[in-house]
Amino acid sequence: MPDMENAVATAAGAKPSDNDPIIRIVDLHKSFGDVDVLRGISLDIHRGEVVVVLGPSGSGKSTMLRCLNRLEEPTSGQIIFEGEDITAPKVNVNKVRERMGMVFQQFNLFPHLDALHNVMLAQTKVLNRSDDEAKRIAAEQLARVGLAERADYYPDELSGGQQQRVAIARALAMDPHVMLFDEATSALDPELVRGVLDVMRELARGGMTMVVVTHEMGFARDVADRVIFMDGGVIVEQGTPDEVFNHPKSERTRAFLGEVSLK
């Protein structure tokens, strides 16, 4: 069954003109106790689109991303993923997550497994792929992120940038329809950021639907189809990189971009 879904998805992914959004967020709210982190987010993400989410820390951008695969439970609102309301109570959230890859700020590689087995584990346990097939795909994905020779290295033997690329390979091996990047380069030393961004760039060029929370303005400018600026739990402004960076409408956007460029 997963194979059929993948085939459909790949076909759909090849047509970015597809009008149905792959993800539709409707009036999403999330609060932790009395703190309202998300205060009504509505957003459509289309197949093959690269959406970059910017915003000051505490603006709720990571929380929004984590709500998309329900690592955080939304307080209210709907998330419709490939036509299915994944906030409905009876949804098998594991099935949803198979189709949504996620990359974390802290990599979160499994330290007890080498790079190859990090990429293999969920393939064999979740997709029931045979060891041989999982190994073949893992090797392919590691080669894709430029780490073919690091297959037998354990996470603590890899640099941060290499670890993050293994994490990307691990997510990609599941053939996700969407990739979520949660500040994927924020924990990296500056000289290691580029390798990870290059992999992400390559992925975008290949037509992957991506939602990227980042502070990398250059990446947003170059790669994003759409830039979203969030602040205070709402979307303040969105548009093409040119619109948001060069002609920001909102005062808050301007202030944020000003601060970032000063850094």
Partner 1 sequence: MDTPRLSLHRLMSALTACLLVCICALAIATPASAMEAVRCTGRPNSEDDPTVIMGATQSRITFEASIAEGEGVTQLTLHIPDGTEFNTEDLAVTLLTGDDLMTRNEVAYTETVDGQNLTLTFDEPIVQAGHLNVIVYDVYFPTAGGDMQVEATYSTADGTKDAAVADIPVIPVQGISTTEAISQWLEGQAWVQAWNSNRFLRLFFDPTLLVTSFPVVLSGFFMSIAIVAVSFPLAIPVALVLAFMRLSKFPVWRGIATVYVNLVRGTPLFLQIYVAFFGLPMAGINIPNFPLGVIVMMLNSSAYMCEIFRAGILSINKGQSEAARSLGMNRLQTMLYVVLPQMFRIVIPNLTNEFITLYKDTSLLAAVGIMELVMYARTIVASTGSITPYIVAAVFYLVITLPLSRVTRYLEERTRRGHAHKRKSAPEPEPTKEAQHA
Q: Which among 56, 166, 51 has a CA at the least distance from the CA of 110? A: 166
Which residue in 12, 26, 39, 71 binds partner 1 (CB under 8 A)? 71
Told to check if 97 binds partner 1 by CB under 8 A, we report: yes
Told to check if 12 binds partner 1 by CB under 8 A, we report: no
Told to check if 73 binds partner 1 by CB under 8 A, we report: no
Q: To the nearest whole angstrom, how small is the minimum distance from the Cβ of residue 135 to partner 1? A: 16
Told to check if 109 binds partner 1 by CB under 8 A, we report: yes
Pairing of strands 226-231, 209-213: unpaired
Which residue in 28, 38, 50, 100 binds partner 1 (CB under 8 A)? 100
Distance of alpha carbon 224 from alpha carbon 214, whole angstroms: 11
Query: Whose Cβ is closer to partner 1: residue 46's or residue 170's?
Result: 170
Quote the DSSP letter at residue 140.
H
Distance of alpha carbon 239 from alpha carbon 148, whole angstroms: 38
Told to check if 21 binds partner 1 by CB under 8 A, we report: no
The DSSP secondary structure of 104-122, one letter per residue, reads -TT----TTS-HHHHHHHH
3-state secondary structure of 205: helix
Buried b (16+ CB within 10 A) or exposed e, 81-99: bbeeebbeeeeeeeebbbb
Told to check if 205 binds partner 1 by CB under 8 A, we report: no
Where does this chain bind partner 1 (CB under 8 A)? Answer: 69, 71, 94-95, 97-98, 100-102, 104, 106, 108-112, 121-122, 125-127, 145-146, 149, 154, 156-157, 159, 161-162, 165, 167, 170-171, 174, 191-192, 194-195, 198-199
